[in-house]
Structure formats: C-alpha cells, structure tokens
Chain A
C-alpha cells in the first residue's frame, strides 16, 4: 500500500475485555514499531520487530500486552484484561530496517483505544 494503515481507527471496549489492534506496514519494510501515545504527550515505545522476531520488547508495560508479526509483514498488538489506564492512541510505524539513525519511520494514523 501507499502508507502504513491501522485498524480499527477507533476501539471502545469495557474494562477486562481483550482487544486486538492491527498494523499493515509499507510493503517491503522489515522493521516495525509499536508506540502508545497519551493526549499531549510524545509516543512511548512498546516493541520493535525486525522481520518476524521481536528484537526489542522492553517497552511493553506488563504481560497483558503482547504483539506478533508471524509472516514479517502485518502485526497485531494484543491487550488482555484491558484497564482504563490502557486508553491511548496506539501508533504503528515501519521502516526499511537500515541500521542506525538514518532509519526513517513512517507512521500510521493510529488506533484510538478507549477502555470504559
């Protein structure tokens, strides 16, 4: 596709429920990042994939959060037993995977998650 897409754009759920957020990266991009952004704040790193493997998951806040990228393209962020504090915009970004700081991340529009 032309850019990174994320579905759904909005998700409202009840406390305790399970949710899945999907990210379709730019075709051919090997690196994929998930971030969480609260209102008025900068994005907070969650997890980074290089290909199919999670190269760095140090940003996942606890074991309720899990992400997969089984075929090295589409990724799904899964949140179990959602809590009100999980409410935020979840951003996905992909890049070509070049080493070092020349990586340009292309961001999707995000999924706004609201936990009631």
Chain B
C-alpha cells in the first residue's frame, strides 16, 4: 500500500513567486493534515481536512496560504506570494479517523522542502 506522497520534494523560488505543494494521502484516509517546520523551530500544525472540508485551519499563518482538497482526495497548499519566512519543510499526514492519532495511526509524508530566496 502506498504511503503519503508529497510533491515536490524540494522547491527553490524567489520571494514574490508562487509555489504549490501537493499531498496524496493514503487511499481511504478521510483526514489530511498539513504541518510545517521552519528551521530552528518546532513542527507546527497548519490545518486539518476531513474529506474536502476544512475542519481546523487555525494554524494557517496568513492569507498568503491557501489549502484545498477538492473531491476529498489529494490536497494542495499554495503560497502566493512567497516570503523569506515561508522557507521550511511542509509535512502532510493522513489518518482514517481523527481519533486514530491517539494510537499512532497518523502517517506522514517525507515532506516538501521550500526555500525562498
């Protein structure tokens, strides 16, 4: 069974440009999460989808970030326009139900590293 896959693995863009990160969760997983790790800081929650609906987007830094999950399958996270402080590793994770996280049933992708110059 395929795990959580993320594209691209690394993106280098200039300040002001746009980047779109994609996450394909494990098939059948209704819950999809985005987390971000900025260098030197802890991994932080960005948002949580249940199917195509945003369950919690309290961690989104500002309106330059737009997440979508049309059809409840894959998700995209667009940063427009990118700023220097957006650099970091963006992790996507999925689980079948929200409560399974308690038992470790939350699976992470390898992350998309974003470098904004």
Q: Do A and B bind each other?
A: no
| B interface residues with partner A (beta carbon < 8 Å) | none
